A and B are shown apart, each in its own frame.
Chain A
Amino acid sequence: MKILILFAHPAFERSRVHARLLKAVRTLPGITLRDLYEEYPDFDVLPKQEQPILEKHDLIILQHPFYWYSGPALLKQWMDLVLEHGWAYGKDGVALQGKYLMQVISTGGNAHAYTAGGHHGHAVCDFLLPYRQTAALCHMDYLPPYIVPGSAHIADEDLARYADGFVQLLQGLSNNTIDLKALMRQPEANMLTGLPGLLPAPPR
């Protein structure tokens, strides 16, 4: 599978989590990395430049910090402009049909915060509903997200494990060694790598 990472981080120079993740995967073969804030510092997203790139890939990964229960502003701007009617959705909008959409996010809160009784009151998957439905509208299959929780306080060695898990995940997807059907049944891609996400590990 050809993988495109659309990376959106307005303060990448302050980021620890994403800097580490990208360092791990930047040079992997078969993966295209597109840094949206570097590409469009003025938010002047060009759909005609973006669409052919999307068409060339099978899996689109949106990698971003989780801001205010969503992605950073430029990612939304990108979606608003690039996913055009008649191209991504609508009557003749089949350009993305059969492709996969996945999110790689970091959150400040930990697993407990994203529960009914926690600080945020809802599971993180609930907040990702707009992305899931966007994928559905564009005839794409939504893969469960890979999540790095507690980003503000994560220890270096833990972060390294998440980075390794990210590499494994991408390599597996790229080489088609991951069973996508099985993956889609999981609530989080973290389950595949054995790393804790925002959900307690499912009972086995």
Chain B
Amino acid sequence: MSNESFFYQALVYLATMVVFVPLAKKLNLGSVLGYLLGGIIIGPALLGLIGQSGQDLMHFAEFGVVMMLFLIGMELEPSLLWKLRAPILGLGGLQVVVTAMLIGGLAMACGLPWNQALVIGMILSLSSTAIVLQILTEKGQMGSAAGQSAFSVLLFQDIAVIPMLAIFPLLAPAGTTLTAEETSSLIEHQPAWVKTIVVLGAVLGLVIGGRYIVKPVLHIVARTRLRELFTASALLLVVGIAVLMTLVGLSPALGAFLGGVLLANSEYRHELESDIEPFKGLLLGLFFIGVGATINFDLIENSPWIVAGLVIGIMIVKFIVLAGLGKLFRLSRDQNLLFSFALPQVGEFAFVLFSFSAGAKLLPQQLVDLMMAVVAISMALTPLVMLAYEKWIQPKFEGMSKENEREDDKIDERNAVIIAGFDHFGTVIGRFLRASGVPATVLDLDSDRVDLLRKMGLKVHYGDASRFEMLKSAGAEQAAIIVVAMATPEKNLEVVQAVKKHFPHLRMLVRAVDNADAFDLMNAGVLHIYRETIDTSLRLGTDVLEMLGRRAYQSQRAARMFRRFDEKSLKGLAAFRDDKQYVNAAKERIEELQKIIQADAYTNMMIRDTGWERDNAEERN
């Protein structure tokens, strides 16, 4: 590749990222879809900007997946693995086994020999860690029950690749593995059992090498205090693992994952993470572009129905298995739907495994080509499926839930106080009021939490407090106060609007996340706004003062004074904000922060505590 064409390629790829990802974000499509669309558009099917080099790119971009798995591996401290052992082994294990059996069975029914059917079943049981984690993180769903389940399943799949790679050579029909080929793998010409042993040996070597070689080397490098050298070592580590694994014919991604797990407990973990993270993001983007670019549109054109049938069939089978397992593992209905809609695509490991099986003559090249296209399309469909789920299915579910919301009418409490939203914020309020002998009617939107709290004997009602009927049945007409403490600012605003419209007599005490959120609530006419972290932050600040030897009373007084002042100045800043609506959001934040910090009055107020000024009263001494 000449210099010129290298720069040309770089130009095309980087421009694709810069153009399509912000565009996709703007359209609320998520970055993954942006990359994929960009890839399709610059690919041979449409603009042809990258011609047939999409395949080369895939080799290069696979490195993004390698890095991602290294990072995932590093996230997995043994303690976390232990905590998630039930969902990982149970949910993840069953998902892989059941899906592999079902799809394998269907493949056999279509006339494939048993070993090919099994291989296809196993490969197709995997989902895309890259896409799903990216999407769930962007939607802020990683902490939810669905997110945790998805993570467990993806993790098991990532691990399951190890035995798959070990088993595949054994499944190859006798004799075929010995056919001469030009590959880089050193053990290509060995019999199957040797390969299995070498694979296991390589994994073992990685474990030992990680402990006794990598850590001491990192220690030496860290002592040079050259940041770029550490970055280089981090990359070297990942590249080294990848090359080693390729030499023994294993997936480099898998090796990187193992390497990551080995370093999860090392003191260099965060350093390595922050060094590799930007490379990962960039290369993963390339990977997604590559997936988009390598979708074989000729194949689709020639046999559209077969491809479409396979994609839809596979995704439906996987969806059914996921939904069934979700139910078995007691995910509530909304969480289970999210979980099942997130995971039915086939994952990036499939590319690796399919080419591996083609190399091992396990599967015919024609079939592999077809499956590659199917995998790419199923991955490209995922963001769209999620979008469709959010647009049409989730709201419908909320509508459906009205039916089984017998609680709507069954709320027999008539309390002066209603609490809307009962996560960690609302819970404290509810507990405090209860301890003070003030009963409150509690509404919450998270069905899992409602179930849990009910089991613990608390009276909590499932329902959306932004709906008129729900508020009415919670006794909003008779109540005097509503505490609005929903999980997101958007939902809070919805409740505020509903209360203002239907129950204007209710006094609203509303949770705000930060200043910007508080401004929005002010604009909505809310008088009593409670910023989540202000009190905690001030309490921490008070403790700092006390640890520095300031008197406890003075520190607490200072904190109270600060808060009073801050709340007053917040109102001033709200007006300031309105005038500058056109200034872009980031600039606005910075200006606001500057204004706050520069406000001399803060410092003066704190240092000149007028209350105890001697001039103030002759008698104070």
Contacts and interface: CB of A to CB of B under 8 A. Distances in A.
B473 interface: no
B552 A151 contact: no
B182 interface: no
A151 B617 CA distance: 13
Contact of A13 (B551, B619, B620): B551
A68 to B, nearest CB: 7
How many A residues are at the interface, by size bracket?
A: 20 to 34
A67 B620 contact: yes
B556 A108 contact: no
B618 A10 contact: no
Contacts of B555: 41
B553 interface: yes
Nearest to A68: B619
Contacts, number: 50
Contacts of B556: 41-42
Interface string A49-86: 00000000000000001111000001000000000000
B621 A41 contact: no
A65 B621 contact: yes
B619 A66 contact: yes
Given A11-B612, A14-B614, A152 B552 contact: no
B554 interface: yes
Contacts of B619: 66-68, 107-109
Interface in B599-621: 609, 612, 614, 618-621
A106 B618 CA distance: 12
Contacts of B618: 108-109, 152
A37 B553 contact: yes
A67 B612 CA distance: 11
A41 to B, nearest CB: 4
For chain B, the bracket of interface size reads: 10 to 19
Given A10-B612, A11-B612, A14-B612, A65 B620 contact: yes
A48 to B, nearest CB: 19
Contacts of A68: 619
Interface in B499-554: 550-554
Contacts of A152: 614, 618, 621
A174 to B, nearest CB: 26
Nearest to B614: A152
Nearest to B559: A41
Nearest to B557: A41
B621 A38 contact: no
A103 B308 CA distance: 93
Contact of A41 (B552, B609, B620): B552
Interface in B575-620: 609, 612, 614, 618-620
Interface string A146-190: 000001100000000000000000000000000000000000000
A3 interface: no
A60 B550 CA distance: 27
B621 A17 contact: yes
B612 to A, nearest CB: 4
Nearest to B556: A41
A12 interface: yes
Contact of A107 (B552, B609, B621): B621
A133 interface: no
Interface string B155-178: 000000000000000000000000
Nearest to B554: A13
Contacts of B554: 11, 13, 41
B621 A151 contact: yes
Interface in B281-323: none
Nearest to B619: A108
B621 A10 contact: no
Contacts of A107: 619, 621
A38 B552 contact: yes
Interface in A83-118: 106-109
Interface string A19-55: 0000000000000000001101110000000000000
A46 to B, nearest CB: 15
A17 B621 CA distance: 8
Nearest to A152: B621
A10 B612 CA distance: 8
Nearest to B550: A13
Contacts of A74: 553
B552 A108 contact: no
Contact of B553 (A38, A67, A151): A38
A10 B553 contact: yes
A12 B551 CA distance: 8
- Kindly name the residue among A17, A41, A74 whose own CB sees the greatest number of chain B CB atoms within 10 A: A41
A13 B614 CA distance: 12
A65 B619 CA distance: 9
A38 B551 contact: yes
A17 B619 CA distance: 13
Contacts of B553: 10, 37-38, 40-41, 74
Nearest to B609: A11
Given A10-B612, A11-B612, A152-B614, A37 B621 contact: no
A21 B609 CA distance: 24
Contacts of A151: 621
Contacts of A12: 551
A41 B553 CA distance: 4
B499 to A, nearest CB: 33
Interface of A: 10-15, 17, 37-38, 40-42, 65-68, 74, 106-109, 151-152
Given A11-B609, A14-B614, 13 more contacts: A11-B612, A13-B550, A17-B621, A37-B553, A38-B553, A41-B553, A108-B618, A108-B619, A108-B620, A109-B618, A151-B621, A152-B618, A152-B621
19 contacts: A11-B554, A11-B612, A13-B551, A13-B554, A14-B612, A15-B621, A37-B551, A37-B553, A38-B551, A38-B552, A41-B552, A42-B556, A66-B621, A108-B618, A108-B620, A108-B621, A151-B621, A152-B618, A152-B621
Interface of B: 550-557, 609, 612, 614, 618-621
Report the 10 A-B pairs with minimum CB-CB distance, sorted nearest first: A151-B621, A11-B612, A41-B553, A41-B552, A37-B553, A41-B556, A108-B619, A65-B621, A108-B621, A106-B621
